[in-house]
Amino acid sequence: MNQPPEDGISSVKFSPNTSQFLLVSSWDTSVRLYDVPANSMRLKYQHTGAVLDCAFYDPTHAWSGGLDHQLKMHDLNTDQENLVGTHDAPIRCVEYCPEVNVMVTGSWDQTVKLWDPRTPCNAGTFSQPEKVYTLSVSGDRLIVGTAGRRVLVWDLRNMGYVQQRRESSLKYQTRCIRAFPNKQGYVLSSIEGRVAVEYLDPSPEVQKKKYAFKCHRLKENNIEQIYPRLCQFHRYPTSIASLAFSNDGTTLAIASSYMYEMDDTEHPEDGIFIRQVTDAETKPKVQKEN
């Protein structure tokens, strides 16, 4: 994409109803809206610190938060912004739950906050056991991953108690959680490069199905290096910082952005790549009958 962010890319999100528009947040303190087919930046607005996440509420409203502790809502038609509220520490995650019609934010202040997007205003603050590193909405459920390898499952219709408290099955710090489209479970990744596939149903029969795997590895100088890779796609200039599929699954946005895993060293420019996805790349291969 033309006019990429000038610093690390933290998040890429497609518009809910179309693959035409892509929202991108960055450590350069900006949130950018791109017209994907036109390969152009439509709009840019700023925070006063690095932006760690962004999300669409609807096709015309973007929400974002980051190191300045501020949650902003931006009207993409009028280019007007609204400071909705704040956390007491950086906002790490921003997501929308259409089933309950709330925006959800997770912060390093050890809270999750719900926001009514119609007003907009705070609709509740809920303590978490540690800093929130990641969260994912699954229907009316909210799956939260925190420091200390903890996972909490909440019911967004009744946040009075935690539905499930879990510990990550992976050895190292949780990096990302994403719910299944069928709402039956989630995948959890760690900083080690391992991914766990987990199920929400606590019954022993269902829990037998869970498993974990490691990302593709590459050996350099007889040392095994772990890199996030997709299918048989070509290698990108630097680390993959964020991915997003369009709602219909036909388009994939890939943020290639150095994440300082090797400290402050020279690295390629950050970039956003768009790939049209084929069925052959995403659907299971049909096994031939003997």
pLDDT, tens digit, 9 for 90 and up, residues 228-268: 444 556 666 567 789 899 999 899 999 988 766 556 666 67
Which range among 2-16, 21-35, 187-201, 216-230 shows the weakest confidence by mean pLDDT? 216-230
pTM: 0.88
Per-residue pLDDT reduced to its tens digit, 174-189: 999 999 999 999 999 9
Q: Measured between alpha carbons, how far is 154 from 188 in angstroms, rounded to an integer?
A: 16
Q: Measured between alpha carbons, how far is 161 from 111 in angstroms, rounded to an integer?
A: 14
Q: Are 188 and 196 in contact (CB under 8 A)?
A: yes
Query: Contacts from 153-156 at CB under 8 Å and sequence distance 24+?
Result: 153/200, 154/112, 154/126, 156/97, 156/99, 156/100, 156/102, 156/104, 156/114
pLDDT band for 287, please (50, 70, 90 cuts): low
User: Who wins on pLDDT, 266 or 104?
Assistant: 104
Task: Collect all residues with Cβ–Cβ distance below 8 Å to 60 and sequence separation of at least 6.
Answer: 75, 76, 77
Per-residue pLDDT reduced to its tens digit, 48-87: 999 999 999 999 999 999 999 999 999 999 999 999 999 9
Cis amide leading into 120 (omega within 30): yes
Query: What is the predicted pLDDT for the residue at 230?
Result: 46
SS3 147: helix
**Ramachandran category for residue 148: left, alpha or beta (phi over 0 → left; psi -120 to 50 → alpha):** left
3-state helix, strand, coil in the chain (%, to 5): 5, 55, 45
Q: Phi and psi at residue 5, in whole multiples of 5°?
A: -60, 160
What token pair was written down for 106?
């997770």
What token pair was written down for 22?
């892509």
pLDDT at 220 over 70: no
In this structure, what DSSP letter does residue 81 have? E
Ordered structural domains, the chain, with CATH: 1-84+237-283 (2.130.10.10), 129-227 (2.40.10.480)
